[in-house]
C-alpha cells in the first residue's frame, strides 16, 4: 500500500496480515485487556467494544427500549422470525430468525444510519480434540478456492480488487468466524457470495484440492541440498506464536486449567503436532462442523440488504437438512472446578543469554472463575472488580506488585472473557529465581489484604463509571460497527444462549448498581474471597530462562525430519519429491482467465470519483489568545466529547528526545503538585472515559503544491498530546486535569523510575520478538531521512538501547538522571497559549454547550511573552531535524543489519528510497505496488516459501519503499524474492499479462485502502485535525485519488524502473535468530550483516 502521512502513519495497517495478526487468538494471546487503562492506549476487551444499551446516569441512562418507530420487518419464506428489539444505544433494530429447514440461526441488525458499513459474518462452532491445528488450517484453506469460484486463491483476488472495509477469518478457541464488510452494496454482495461458497463448498476437502492442506497447513519439502524440511503457512505462524514467552505461558496454562474440555487443546495448533494432521482428519473435521445447523450468521445493513442476504444464505442452506446430532456433538462442555490444591508448573523459554544477576523468570497465577454460565450481572461485576484490582496504576493489586521490586513488570492482565469460561490471571516477569515463591505469596497476600480492607467509595464509583462509559461508547475501535456487534454476540450465541445477551445489558447494569449501592465494598470483597482466595482450581505457571532451548527445539525438528527421511525407501522419497514439485507446479501456474473472471468484481464506474472528506472548523487566536481551536461536528457520538490538547515540544533539546517515551510512561505513575496518583486515577474514572498521553511527529506538506513531492522530511511538528473523552458537563473538569498533568507533573522517585524503566524494557523485548516486521521497517527507514531517524529513536531498537542506558543511570547516577527528567518536563509544563492547540469532536449541540468550559481553559493559559515565538515550521526546519541530519551517518549508516532474537522464525525486510528529492510521487504507482504485493510477493514469500505474511508500502512523503515478511521460516530466499520483483514486473509487461482487468482490480484495491470503513466519531475528529496540522489539502488528496483511478501500463513501466534503482540502493534489516543471520552471511549469495544484539 502507498500511505499518505496524515492518514496512515503506521506501517501498512490495512494489510490483511496485520489485521489477522491483530484479531487472531485474541482470547489466548492478549488475555483480553478490558478497560482503557489510565493514560495508556490499551485495547478494550472485545465484549465491551460495542456492548451497551446505556447512557450515563446523568444523561438519561435509563432510556429504555422501543418507543422508536420500527422499520419494515425483513421477511423471507425460508426464515421464521423469533424476536426483534429496538436497541436505543445503537439506534438500530435487531431481528433474530431461524432457517426453517436447517434450524440455523440468523441475526439481522438494521441501523437507522444507512451510511454504516454493510456487514456479513458466519460462524461455526469448532471443537478441537487435538493440537494438530485443524480448525485453524481449515480457516485458511476454505478461502483457497471453492466450487463456484475455483481460483487458487479467490481470497487474494478479493484483496486485490474489492472495496472491502473488513475482510478476514479468525480461529478462536471454540469457533471459527468469517466476517466481511463494505460500504459499497454491490461489492458487499460479491464478498458475501464468495465467502458463502467458500465455507459451504470449499475445494480443500475435495480430491482436486488436497494440495491446499500442504500449502496452508504443512508439508514436507525438498531443499536445494535434497534434504527434507517442513513448510506451511500455519506451521510457520505457530512457530512464531510459540516463540513469544507470554503466548507460550498462556497456552500452557490452558492445558492445566482445562484438563477435561476442549480448551485443553490449542485450536491454532502446536508446531510439533501440526505435522500429524492428515487429509482424512482434515476432511472429517470439516464435515462434522461446517454445516448450517452448527452455524450462526449475521447481516448488518438496510432492510432491503437483509432480505437480499437471506435469499443468498438460503441458496446454500436449502441444500442441507437439520442435523441435531452434529449440533450436539460440537457442544462445549464446562470444565468443572475440581482441584483440591492448586497446580504448579515450570517450563523453559528461550533467551539469548542467561544472566543470573538479572531477573529472567516469569510467573502467573490463573484462576478458573466459572464452571456454569454466569448471570449478566455477575459478568458486569467481574468487569468492575477487574478494574478495581488492576485497571489503573493505583489499583491495589497492580500497584503493590509493581512496587514490590520483585519483578520488572506485571503480566497477566486480569480478567479474560469472551469464551464460555472466564479466567483471571496476574503475575510478573523479570523475576529472580530466588524470588519466585515470594511473588506467589505476595499475590495471595495482597488479595487477602484487599478482602480485609475493601475499596473506597471513590474507587468503586470510578470503576462503575468506567464500565458505564465503555458500554455507552458504541463504536470506539477501528472495526466497522456491525463487525463488533457480530463478534460480541458470538460470546453468548456460540453457546446456544441469546445473542442479544452480549449486546444489551440494561437490566443487568441496573441490578449491579442497586446491589453495590446496598452492599458497598462488601459485594466485591466477597467475590475476591469466593472466586479467588477460596478457589483452588488455579495454575501457578513459571517460565524459566534457557539459552539452549531454542537451538535444541530447532535441532529436534531437524533430527525428526532427518530420521523420517532416513526411514524412507527411494520410492517413498521420490513420492514426496514428486508431491512437492506438484505443489510448486500448481502454485506457479496461473489460473485461467475465465476462472479469475468468474469471481464477481466491481467496475471502475462503481467507485466514487471523490474522496470522503470531513469538515473542520478552525479558529486561530481564539478568545484573543494565541491558541488555535479546532472543532469537528459529528453524529453518533452519544453526547460524548473527544478532547485533544497538543503542546508543542520543539524547544526540547535533541539529546533529550530519547527520554520522552519514559516520560510518557512516568506520567501514568507520578503525582502532580495538586494531586496524588490515587486521586488522579479516581478522578479520571469518575469524571471521564479515560485520558491518554501520546507523542506525535507530524510530517508537514507544502500547502501550495497540488502533487505529492518527495522530500527529505525536514519539515515537521512535534507534540505531546493529552487525549481525553467525557460527557459535556465534565469537560471543564477534564480540561482542568489535563492542565494539572501538563503543568504540575512531578518526577517519580528513584525506585519508581527504575521500575518503570524495567517494565518498558521487558515490554520492548517481548514486542521485538512478536512484531519484528515493525522494527525492521523503522530501522531501514531511519537510514534515509531524519524524521524517520527520530521516530526510530522514539519507538524502535534505538529506543530499547536508550532505555537500558537510562536504567543504568537511574540506578547509578540518580541525581543526574532526575535533573534530566525535570528538564524534559519543563519543555511543556509552561503550557503557553502559543504552543497549545485544542481539538474538539462531538455533536453540534454538545459542542455548543461546552463553550464556557473551553473559554475558561484557553484564557487561563500562559499568554506571557517570556518565551520566543514558534517558527513557521512549514518554512523552517524543525530543530530536531537539523540535529538528526547531522548524526544520520553515524547512528543510522546505510548498511545491512541483523537484529538477533530468540525465535524459530524471522522477519525479513528490504527498503530504500525510489524517488529523488523534488520528484512527483503519483497515485498511479499504487496500482503496480498493489499488483506486486498481492500477486508475486504473496505467492512467493507466503504460499511457496511458507511465511505467514508479507507486506509492502511506499511512503508518499519521501519515496521510501519497503518489503517485509512476517513469521518467515526463510531469510535469504525472501531477500532474493524482493530482488526478483523488478524482473517479475518486467516479465509481466513483456508478456502483456498486465491486462485492463488486472489494472482495474489493483485500482479498486487501492481505493479500498484510501476510503476505509466508516470512521467512529473520535477518529473522524482526529483525522481531520491531523490533515489540518500537516497541511494536507483536499486538492492534493483528490489529485492522489485521480492518479490512482487513471493508472495504466505506463505506471507499471515507471514502477519497474524505480525497482531497478531500489535494488541498487536499498538495504536490508532482518530480525531473526542469530544462527539464521549467520547462515545467510555465507555462501555465494551471502550478505554482509552488522549484527545488533539486544
Output the DSSP codes for 871-926: P-TTTS--HHHHHHHHHHHHHS-SS-EEEE-S-SSBEEEEEEE-S-TT-EE-GGGH
How far apart, in whole angstroms, are the C-alpha atoms of residue 359 and residue 545?
9
Q: Nearest CA to 20 among 308, 234, 286, 290? A: 234
Instruction: Please report the pLDDT score of residue 1093 as a whole number.
Output: 87
Q: Residue 328: is its pLDDT beyond 60? A: yes
- pLDDT band at 1084, cuts 50/70/90? low
- pLDDT band at 48, cuts 50/70/90? very low
Contact of 1025 with 630, CB cutoff 8 Å: yes
Of 130 and 12, more confident = 130
Helices (H), 413-499: 436-453, 457-472, 481-493
The three cell numbers locating residue 217:
497447513
Q: Dump pLDDT digits (tens) for 218-245.
A: 999 999 889 999 999 999 999 999 989 9
Q: Residue 522: is its pLDDT beyond 80? A: yes
Please state the φ and ψ torsions of residue 469, each to the nearest 5 degrees. -65, -45
Cα–chain-centroid distance for residue 425?
21
Contact of 275 with 230, CB cutoff 8 Å: yes
Of 161 and 746, more confident = 746
Contact of 11 with 796, CB cutoff 8 Å: no
Give me the mean pLDDT over the 363-389 stretch: 96
Q: Dump pLDDT digits (tens) for 686-739.
A: 999 999 999 999 999 998 888 999 998 889 999 999 999 999 999 999 999 999
How large is the C-alpha radius of gyration of the chain? 28
Give me the mean pLDDT over the 557-564 stretch: 94
How far apart, in whole angstroms, are the C-alpha atoms of residue 358 and residue 842?
49
Of 767 and 866, more confident = 767
Instruction: Please report the pLDDT score of residue 534 as a whole number.
Output: 97
Q: Residue 146: is its pLDDT beyond 90? A: yes
Q: Residue 29: is its pLDDT beyond 50? A: no
827 by Cβ neighbours in 10 Å (0-12 / 13-18 / 19+) ranks as: buried
How far apart, in whole angstroms, are the C-alpha atoms of residue 551 and residue 1073?
9
The distance between the two most distant Cα atoms of the chain, rounded to a whole number of Å, is: 88
659 by Cβ neighbours in 10 Å (0-12 / 13-18 / 19+) ranks as: buried
Q: To the nearest whole percent, how much of the chain has pLDDT over 90? A: 83
Give the three-state DSSP class for 746: coil
Give me the mean pLDDT over the 399-428 stretch: 94
Q: Residue 24: is its pLDDT beyond 60? A: no
The three cell numbers locating residue 1003:
485500482
Instruction: Please report the pLDDT score of residue 692 as a whole number.
Output: 96
Give me the mean pLDDT over the 539-543 stretch: 97
Q: To the nearest whole percent, how much of the chain has pLDDT over 70? A: 93
Q: Nearest CA to 163 among 1057, 1006, 1054, 1025? A: 1006
The residue count for the chain: 1094
Q: Nearest CA to 442 among 405, 483, 392? A: 405
What DSSP designation does 950 have? E
Q: Is 185 left (phi over 0), alpha (psi -120 to 50) or beta?
A: alpha
pTM: 0.90
Q: Nearest CA to 262 among 422, 423, 131, 424? A: 131
Instruction: Please report the pLDDT score of residue 22 as a whole number.
Output: 39
Place of cell 471502475: 604
Contact of 1006 with 607, CB cutoff 8 Å: no
Q: How many angstroms separate the Cα of 77 from the Cα of each of 74, 105, 108, 1011?
A: 11, 14, 15, 37
Instruction: Please report the pLDDT score of residue 450 as a whole number.
Output: 98
Ranges 130-139, 629-638, 1041-1050: which has the least confidence: 629-638
Q: Residue 3: is its pLDDT beyond 70? A: no
> CB-side exposure of 826: number of CA atoms within 13 Å?
9
Ranges 157-161, 411-415, 610-614, 707-711: which has the least confidence: 157-161
Helix, strand, coil: what percent of the chain each, to 5?
Answer: 50, 20, 35
Place of cell 478568545: 623
Ranges 304-318, 490-504, 932-946, 1077-1091: which has the least confidence: 1077-1091
- pLDDT band at 864, cuts 50/70/90? low
For the chain, the first-to-last Cα distance in angstroms comes to 30
The three cell numbers locating residue 551:
537451538
Instruction: Please report the pLDDT score of residue 865 as a whole number.
Output: 61
Q: Dump pLDDT digits (tens) for 334-357.
A: 999 999 999 999 999 999 889 877
Query: Which residues have C-beta within 8 Å of that of residue 593, sequence separation ≥ 6?
Result: none
Question: Rounded mean pLDDT of the chain?
Answer: 90
How far apart, in whole angstroms, are the C-alpha atoms of residue 233 and residue 225?
22
- pLDDT band at 62, cuts 50/70/90? very low
384 by Cβ neighbours in 10 Å (0-12 / 13-18 / 19+) ranks as: buried
Q: How many angstroms separate the Cα of 504 from the Cα of each of 47, 65, 91?
A: 11, 10, 13
Q: Residue 274: is its pLDDT beyond 60? A: yes
Query: Which residues have C-beta within 8 Å of that of residue 254, sequence separation ≥ 6?
Result: 28, 263, 264, 266
How far apart, in whole angstroms, are the C-alpha atoms of residue 1063 and residue 455?
62
Q: Dump pLDDT digits (tens) for 941-968.
A: 999 999 999 999 999 999 999 999 999 9
Beta bridge partners of 119: 181, 300
9 by Cβ neighbours in 10 Å (0-12 / 13-18 / 19+) ranks as: middle
Contact of 413 with 343, CB cutoff 8 Å: no
Contact of 396 with 680, CB cutoff 8 Å: no
Q: Dump pLDDT digits (tens) for 871-902.
A: 999 999 999 999 999 988 777 788 999 999 99
Q: Dump pLDDT digits (tens) for 361-375.
A: 999 999 999 999 999
Amino acid at each position: 500500500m502507498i500511505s499518505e502521512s496524515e492518514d496512515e502513519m503506521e506501517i501498512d495497517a490495512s494489510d490483511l496480515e496485520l489485521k489477522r495478526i491483530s484479531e487472531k487468538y485474541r482470547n489466548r494471546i492478549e488475555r483480553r485487556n478490558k478497560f482503557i487503562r489510565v493514560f495508556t492506549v490499551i485495547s478494550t476487551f472485545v465484549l465491551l467494544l460495542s456492548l451497551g444499551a446505556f447512557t450515563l446516569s446523568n444523561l438519561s441512562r435509563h432510556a429504555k427500549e422501543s418507543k422508536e418507530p420500527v422499520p419494515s420487518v425483513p421477511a423471507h419464506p425460508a426464515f421464521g422470525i423469533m424476536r426483534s428489539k429496538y436497541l436505543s444505544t445503537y439506534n438500530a433494530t435487531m431481528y433474530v430468525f431461524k432457517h426453517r429447514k436447517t434450524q440455523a440461526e440468523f441475526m439481522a441488525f438494521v441501523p437507522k444510519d444507512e451510511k454504516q458499513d454493510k456487514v456479513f459474518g458466519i460462524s461455526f462452532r469448532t471443537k478441537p480434540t487435538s493440537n494438530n491445528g485443524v480448525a485453524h488450517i481449515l480457516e485458511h484453506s476454505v478461502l483457497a478456492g471453492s466450487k463456484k469460484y475455483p481460483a487458487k486463491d479467490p481470497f487474494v483476488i478479493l484483496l486485490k480488487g474489492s472495496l472491502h472495509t473488513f475482510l478476514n477469518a479468525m480461529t478462536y478457541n471454540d469457533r471459527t468466524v468469517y466476517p466481511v464488510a463494505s460500504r459499497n452494496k454491490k461489492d458487499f454482495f460479491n464478498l458475501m457470495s464468495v465467502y458463502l461458497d467458500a465455507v459451504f463448498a470449499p475445494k480443500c476437502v475435495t480430491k482436486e484440492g488436497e494440495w491446499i492442506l500442504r500449502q496452508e497447513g504443512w508439508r514436507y519439502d525438498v531443499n536445494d541440498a535434497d534434504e527434507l524440511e517442513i513448510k506451511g503457512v500455519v506451521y510457520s505462524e505457530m512457530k512464531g506464536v510459540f516463540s513469544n514467552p507470554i503466548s507460550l505461558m498462556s497456552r500452557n496454562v490452558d492445558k492445566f486449567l482445562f484438563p477435561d474440555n476442549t480448551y485443553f487443546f490449542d485450536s491454532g495448533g502446536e508446531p510439533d503436532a501440526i505435522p500429524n494432521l492428515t487429509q482424512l482428519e482434515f476432511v472429517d473435521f470439516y464435515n462434522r462442523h461446517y454445516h448450517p445447523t452448527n452455524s450462526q450468521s449475521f447481516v448488518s445493513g438496510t432492510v432491503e440488504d437483509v432480505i437480499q442476504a437471506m435469499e443468498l444464505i438460503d441458496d446454500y442452506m436449502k441444500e442441507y437438512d437439520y442435523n441435531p446430532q452434529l449440533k450436539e456433538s460440537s457442544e462445549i462442555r464446562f470444565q468443572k472446578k475440581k482441584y483440591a490444591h492448586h497446580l504448579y508448573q515450570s517450563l523453559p523459554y528461550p533467551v539469548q543469554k542467561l544472566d543470573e544477576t538479572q531477573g529472567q523468570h516469569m510467573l502467573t497465577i490463573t484462576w478458573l472463575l466459572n464452571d456454569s454460565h454466569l448471570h449478566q450481572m455477575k459478568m458486569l461485576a467481574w468487569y468492575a472488580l477487574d478494574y478495581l484490582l488492576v485497571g489503573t496504576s493505583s489499583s491495589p493489586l497492580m500497584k503493590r506488585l509493581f512496587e514490590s521490586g520483585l519483578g520488572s513488570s506485571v503480566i497477566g492482565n486480569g480478567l479474560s472473557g469472551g469464551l464460555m469460561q472466564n479466567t483471571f490471571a496476574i503475575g510478573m516477569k523479570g523475576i529472580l529465581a530466588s524470588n519466585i515463591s515470594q511473588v506467589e505469596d505476595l499475590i495471595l497476600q495482597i488479595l487477602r489484604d484487599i478482602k480485609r480492607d475493601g475499596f473506597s467509595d471513590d474507587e468503586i464509583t470510578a470503576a462503575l463509571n468506567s464500565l458505564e462509559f465503555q458500554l455507552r461508547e458504541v463504536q470506539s475501535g477501528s472495526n466497522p460497527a456491525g463487525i463488533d456487534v457480530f463478534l460480541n454476540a458470538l460470546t453468548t450465541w456460540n453457546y446456544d444462549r441469546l445473542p442479544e445477551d452480549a449486546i444489551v445489558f440494561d437490566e443487568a447494569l441496573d441490578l449491579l448498581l442497586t446491589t453495590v449501592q446496598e452492599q458497598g465494598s462488601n459485594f466485591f470483597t466477597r467475590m475476591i474471597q469466593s472466586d479467588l482466595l477460596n478457589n483452588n482450581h488455579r495454575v501457578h505457571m513459571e517460565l524459566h530462562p534457557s539459552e539452549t532451548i531454542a537451538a535444541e527445539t530447532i535441532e529436534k525438528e531437524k533430527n525428526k525430519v532427518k530420521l523420517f527421511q532416513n526411514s524412507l525407501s527411494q520410492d517413498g522419497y521420490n513420492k514426496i519429491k514428486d508431491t512437492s514439485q506438484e505443489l510448486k507446479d500448481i502454485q506457479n501456474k496461473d489460473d485461467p482467465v475465465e476462472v479469475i473472471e468468474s469471481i464477481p468484481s466491481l467496475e471502475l464506474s462503481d467507485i466514487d470519483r471523490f474522496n470522503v472528506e470531513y469538515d473542520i472548523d478552525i479558529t486561530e487566536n481564539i478568545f484573543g489568545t494565541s491558541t488555535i481551536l479546532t472543532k469537528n461536528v459529528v453524529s453518533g457520538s452519544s453526547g460524548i466529547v473527544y478532547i485533544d490538547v497538543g503542546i508543542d515540544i520543539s524547544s526540547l533539546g535533541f539529546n533529550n528526545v530519547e527520554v520522552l517515551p519514559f516520560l510518557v510512561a512516568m506520567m501514568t505513575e507520578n503525582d502532580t503538585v495538586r494531586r496524588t496518583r490515587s486521586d488522579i486515577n479516581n478522578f479520571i474514572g469518575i469524571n471521564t472515559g479515560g485520558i491518554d498521553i501520546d507523542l506525535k511527529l507530524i510530517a508537514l506538506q507544502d500547502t501550495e503544491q497540488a502533487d505529492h513531492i518527495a522530500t527529505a522530511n525536514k519539515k515537521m511538528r512535534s507534540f505531546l498530546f493529552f487525549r481525553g473523552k467525557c460527557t459535556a458537563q465534565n469537560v471543564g473538569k477534564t480540561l482542568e486535569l489535563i492542565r494539572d498533568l501538563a503543568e504540575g507533573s512531578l518526577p517519580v522517585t528513584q525506585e519508581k523510575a527504575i521500575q518503570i524503566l524495567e517494565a518498558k524494557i521487558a515490554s520492548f523485548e517481548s514486542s521485538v520478538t512478536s512484531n519484528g516486521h515493525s522494527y525492521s521497517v523503522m530501522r531501514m527507514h531511519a537510514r534515509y531521512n531524519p524524521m524517520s531517524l527520530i521516530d526510530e529513536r522514539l519507538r524502535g531498537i534505538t529506543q530499547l538501547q536508550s532505555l537500558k542506558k537510562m536504567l543504568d543511570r537511574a540506578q547509578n547516577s540518580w541525581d543526574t538522571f532526575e535533573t534530566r527528567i525535570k528538564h524534559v518536563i519543563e519543555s511543556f509544563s509552561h503550557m503557553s497559549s502559543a504552543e497549545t492547540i485544542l481539538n474538539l469532536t462531538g455533536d453540534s449541540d454538545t459542542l455548543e454547550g461546552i463553550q464556557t468550559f473551553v473559554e475558561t481553559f484557553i484564557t487561563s493559559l500562559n499568554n506571557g511573552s517570556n518565551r520566543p515565538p514558534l517558527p513557521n515550521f512549514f518554512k523552517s526546519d524543525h530543530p530536531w531535524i537539523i540535529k538528526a541530519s547531522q548524526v544520520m551517518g553515524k547512528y543510522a549508516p546505510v548498511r545491512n543489519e541483523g537484529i538477533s532474537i530468540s525465535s524459530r522464525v524471522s522477519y525479513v525486510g528490504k527498503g530504500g528510497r525510489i524517488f529523488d528529492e523534488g520528484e512527483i510521487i503519483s497515485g498511479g504507482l499504487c496500482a503496480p505496488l498493489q499488483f506486486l504485493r498481492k500477486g508475486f510477493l504473496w505467492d512467493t514469500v507466503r504460499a511457496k516459501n511458507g511465511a505467514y505474511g508479507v507486506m509492502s508500502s511506499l511512503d508518499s512523503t519521501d519515496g521510501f519503499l519497503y518489503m517485509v515478511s512476517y513469521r518467515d521460516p526463510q531469510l535469504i530466499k525472501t531477500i532474493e524474492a524482493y530482488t526478483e520483483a523488478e524482473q517479475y514486473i518486467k516479465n509481466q509487461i513483456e508478456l502483456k499479462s498486465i491486462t485492463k482487468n488486472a489494472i482495474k482490480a489493483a485500482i479498486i484495491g487501492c481505493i479500498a485502502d484510501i476510503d476505509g470503513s466508516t470512521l467512529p466519531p473520535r477518529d473522524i475528529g482526529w483525522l481531520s485535525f491531523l490533515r489540518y496540522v500537516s497541511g494536507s489539502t483536499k486538492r492534493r488528496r483528490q489529485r492522489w485519488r485521480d492518479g490512482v483511478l487513471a493508472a495504466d501500463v505506463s505506471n507499471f513501466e515507471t514502477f519497474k524502473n524505480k525497482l531497478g534503482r531500489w535494488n541498487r540502493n536499498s538495504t536490508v534489516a532482518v530480525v531473526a535468530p542469530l544462527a539464521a543471520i549467520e547462515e545467510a552471511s555465507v555462501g555465494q549469495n551471502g550478505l554482509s550483516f552488522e549484527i545488533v544484539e539486544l
